[in-house]
Amino acid sequence: MTFRPATTLLLAALAAAPGGSLATAEPVARRTPVVDAVERVSPAVVNISTEVIVRNPYAQAPDIFNWFFGGRRQRRQYYVENSLGSGVIVDSRGYVLTNNHVIAAASRITITFVDGKQVEADLVGSDQATDLAVLKLQGEGPWPAVEMGTSSDLMVGETAIAIGNPFGLQSSVTTGVISATGRMLPGPDEDAIPFADFIQTDAAINPGNSGGALLNIRGELIGINTQIVAKGQNLGFAIPIDRARKVLRELRDYGYLRPAWTGLVVEDLDPQQAEYLELDSHEGVLVVKIYRDSPATEARFHLGDVIIAVGSRKISNIADWDTAIAQVEYGKRVNVRLVRKGEEVVYPLRVEAFPAERAEEFAWSVLGFTVKDRRGLVVIDAVRDNSKAAEIGLVPGLAIRSLGGHKVRNAKQFYEIVPQMLYRRSADLVIAARRGLYRIPIPIR
């Protein structure tokens, strides 16, 4: 009797199956959850092409060609720069999530689908601090949309799938694993307080993947790809979808991200303070100020409280605190664990959007001055004694041109910008004086 290997028998059985053949059986055997996820999601991951009109800084400079040969050749006043990135359709009505840096200053945004179809998109809103932006596709839907999952239960080692447009190559797929969660990365500028919840993955994220999708094995959106480490291999980072979901709603409904408001001002707890408070660890944040008529006063917080956890998240520093508070839906309460006089207690804290009517109070308390409109300019109205502004030498009458990188055209706009400084360590103030413009950093924390 002749014995044949089991694999030979299996292949023979597949070939002999009614209506079946080896050729049709192989694709079924090769189909994996990754293949299923990519097939479902790819139509919702798009290429984003932008045009940015840039002023030519040399337009007014003398043209050496004219100097040698005469003539009236004019330099171009403006030129167009193009860039590529990725985006994810997260709503069948045509809302697209991407990175702020992908569409920054764009005068035209073109969306290309995996089948080559192109449509224009409008900018709904963007936020530099979180590096997220929301676009709206022009035209009638419904549009293919990805299902959003959650980033709260990610496991190190689980499969991660990245889809984007590296180097302009439409709908490229890479796979890997979740390498880590809760990574802290630098903010968009040196004064911004970094978030501490980035997802690290070894799924290849190349230039052009920014704004693309990071998926779990079920094809659910768990992150928006945002950064790579140029000098490292397989070091990519994504914004967790739980943070992006809140930013999406804010930008869609308001056009900007309203800062979170608790009424608490906190500082990192250093070893000397921990020793003075007789704490076993210097991890946590110290409550150093409580605003009146705020969620913090309602929740009975005290000066000197040391916050060690928000919900299930451990708090080690300000970045942890800001990250945890930024994820709470406005109007909702979150349990805050703190140490007071050597005992751990828990208080429910309500998180609200910053009340616009209190912006002037915040400017006076934190920046140290208020402003008013005067003859088409925004000028300092009053300076608080013993404030950093007073120490720097700010005085009433100085004209303000910008705050924190935002141009200031009137007092109303100034006070709209003030709450956006909540997540910064300092704010750059540009003032105009008789001899020119001066950039002055104002400490926030």
Which domain-ending residue is among 223, 254, 285? 254
pLDDT of residue 7: 47
8 Å CB contact between 224 and 96: no
Q: Is residue 86 part of a domain?
A: yes
Instruction: Identify the H or E element spanning 401.
Output: strand 399-403
Q: Which residues are registered as beta bridge partners of 429?
A: 403, 440
302 is catalytic: no
* Whether 70 and 130 share a structural domain: yes
Q: Is residue 68 part of a domain?
A: yes
Q: Is residue 146 part of a domain?
A: no
Q: Is residue 408 part of a domain?
A: yes
Q: Which amino acid is at 436?
A: G
101 is catalytic: yes
Q: Is residue 126 part of a domain?
A: yes
CB count, 10 Å around CB of 373?
A: 14
Q: Domain containing 266 — which CATH number?
A: 2.30.42.10
Q: Is residue 410 part of a domain?
A: yes
Instruction: List Cβ neighbours of 135 (8 Å cut-off, separation of 6 or more).
Output: 48, 87, 95, 96, 98, 103, 109, 111, 121, 122, 123, 124
202 is catalytic: no
* Whether 54 and 131 share a structural domain: yes
Q: Which amino acid is at 304?
A: G
Catalytic choice (42, 49, 91, 101): 101
* Whether 230 and 300 share a structural domain: no
Q: Is residue 437 part of a domain?
A: yes
* Whether 409 and 361 share a structural domain: yes
8 Å CB contact between 296 and 289: no
> Residue 3 corresponds to which tokens in the numbers above?
């014995």
Q: Is residue 13 part of a domain?
A: no
Runs of H (alpha helix) within 42-122: 64-69, 100-103
Which domain-ending residue is among 254, 275, 292? 254
What is the C-alpha to C-alpha distance for residues 284 and 305, in angstroms, rounded to an integer? 10
* Whether 268 and 301 share a structural domain: yes
CA distances from 248 to 99, 134, 136 (A): 11, 7, 12
Per-residue pLDDT of the chain (445 residues; tens, 9 = 90+): 444 554 454 445 445 555 555 555 677 788 999 999 999 999 999 999 998 766 655 555 555 555 555 555 555 655 566 678 899 999 999 999 999 999 988 889 999 999 889 999 999 999 988 899 999 999 888 999 999 999 999 999 999 999 988 776 778 899 999 999 999 887 666 656 678 899 999 998 877 888 999 999 999 999 999 877 666 567 889 999 999 999 999 999 999 889 899 999 899 998 888 888 888 888 899 999 899 999 999 999 999 999 999 999 999 999 899 999 988 999 999 999 999 988 999 999 999 999 999 999 989 988 999 999 999 999 999 999 999 899 988 999 999 999 988 889 999 999 988 988 876 778 889 999 777 888 988 887 6
Exposure string of 384-418, with b = 16+ CB inside 10 Å and e = fewer, is beebbbeeeebeeebbbbbbbebebeebeebbebb
* Whether 248 and 182 share a structural domain: yes
- What are the helix and strand counts (H, E) for the chain? 12, 26
> Residue 195 corresponds to which tokens in the numbers above?
């978030």
Which residue range(s) make up the domain with 329? 260-353
Q: How many domains does the chain have?
A: 4
* Whether 403 and 371 share a structural domain: yes
Q: Domain containing 98 — which CATH number?
A: 2.40.10.10
Decide: helix, strand or coil at residue 99. Answer: coil
Catalytic choice (171, 210, 387, 402): 210
Which domain-ending residue is among 254, 278, 308? 254
Q: Which amino acid is at 276?
A: Y
pLDDT of residue 150: 95
Catalytic choice (91, 131, 191, 322): 131
* Whether 248 and 290 share a structural domain: no
* Whether 201 and 126 share a structural domain: no
